[in-house]
A and B are shown apart, each in its own frame.
Chain A
C-alpha cells in the first residue's frame, strides 16, 4: 500500500525558513516523479514544485528562487526547502506522486505551514 507522510511544518516568522520532508513507502521511489501542491485552508489547490526521477526540477513562479525541491532516493524521501517565507505561503502542503507529463495518483496527508509574526 502506498503511503506518503509529510513532516516539518509549523509556525515561522516572515522571512524565515522551513524544510518539509515527505517519506514514502509502498512503491519504488526512485522510479517516480514527485510534486508538492499547496492549499490555503478553504481555498483551491495550487501547484508548487516538481522533481523528476533524474532530479530535474521545476517551480511555480510564485516560489521560484525561494523554494528548493530535492529528493534522497536512498531514504525514500522528498524535501521542500522554503526560504524567505511570506504570509502568502501559509497553506497546507501536500506531497504527491505524479509526473511532469502525467497525473497525481497518490497524495500525502498534508502538512500545515503558517507564516506569521
Chain B
C-alpha cells in the first residue's frame, strides 16, 4: 500500500515561511490534497489537486508537487496558523485514500 511520510513537527517564527513536506514514491504523478486541523476541531481543506486553494483560504498558503515530494508552503506565518497539517492522496492500486501522518506547526 502507498505510504505518505511527513515530518512530525516544524517550527517557525511569526512572519517567516514554513515549508511542510509530504514524501511518497513518485508522488508527483498523483493529485495531493492538504488539510489543516486545529485542536478540538475537524480538519479543513487547505489545498486541492496540488496547487488549488478554496476561495476562503488565504493566498499565504500554497502547494507544489514534484518528484517524490509535495510541499505545503505558508508565507508570513501567523500565530493562528499553529495547527496540524495533513497531506492526502488516492492510492490507485487498491482504491484507498491515504493520509500522511501529519505535521504539527509550532509558531515560536
What 1/0 flags go to A28-50 for Cβ under 8 Å of B?
00000001010000001111001
> Chain B residues with Cβ under 8 A from A103's Cβ?
33, 45, 48-49, 88
Question: Of residues B42, B90, B94, B101, which shows the largest number of chain A Cβ atoms within 10 Å of its Cβ?
Answer: B42
Who on chain A is nearest to B100 by CB? A44
* Given A100-B95, A103-B48, A104-B33: A45 and B86 interface contact (C-beta under 8 Å): yes
Flag if A105 contacts B96 (CB, 8 Å). Answer: no
> Chain A residues with Cβ under 8 A from B44's Cβ?
107
Give Cα A105–Cα B57 distance, bound, in whole angstroms: 12
A-B contact count (CB 8 A): 54
Asked whether any CB of chain A lies closer than 8 Å to the CB of B97, the reply is yes
Asked whether any CB of chain A lies closer than 8 Å to the CB of B21, the reply is no
Question: Of residues A45, A61, A106, which shows the largest number of chain B Cβ atoms within 10 Å of its Cβ?
Answer: A45
Give Cα A100–Cα B35 distance, bound, in whole angstroms: 17
* Given A100-B90, A103-B88, A104-B35: A45 and B45 interface contact (C-beta under 8 Å): no
What 1/0 flags go to B67-108 for Cβ under 8 Å of A?
000000000000000001010101000111111111000000
Give Cα A30–Cα B49 distance, bound, in whole angstroms: 23
The one of B42, B48, B97, B100 in contact with A35, judged by C-beta atoms closer than 8 angstroms, is: B97
Asked whether any CB of chain A lies closer than 8 Å to the CB of B58, the reply is no
The one of B54, B84, B86 in contact with A105, judged by C-beta atoms closer than 8 angstroms, is: B54
Chain A nearest CB, measured from B67 CB (Å)? 21
| Size bracket of the B interface | 20 to 34
Flag if A94 contacts B42 (CB, 8 Å). Answer: yes
> Chain A residues with Cβ under 8 A from B98's Cβ?
47
CB-contacts of A33-74 with B (<8 A): 35, 37, 44-47, 50, 58, 60-61
Who on chain B is nearest to A58 by CB? B95
Asked whether any CB of chain A lies closer than 8 Å to the CB of B43, the reply is yes
List residues of B whose CB falls within 8 A of some A CB.
Answer: 1, 33, 35, 37, 42-45, 48-49, 54, 84, 86, 88, 90, 94-102
List residues of A whose CB falls within 8 A of some B CB.
Answer: 35, 37, 44-47, 50, 58, 60-61, 94, 100-110
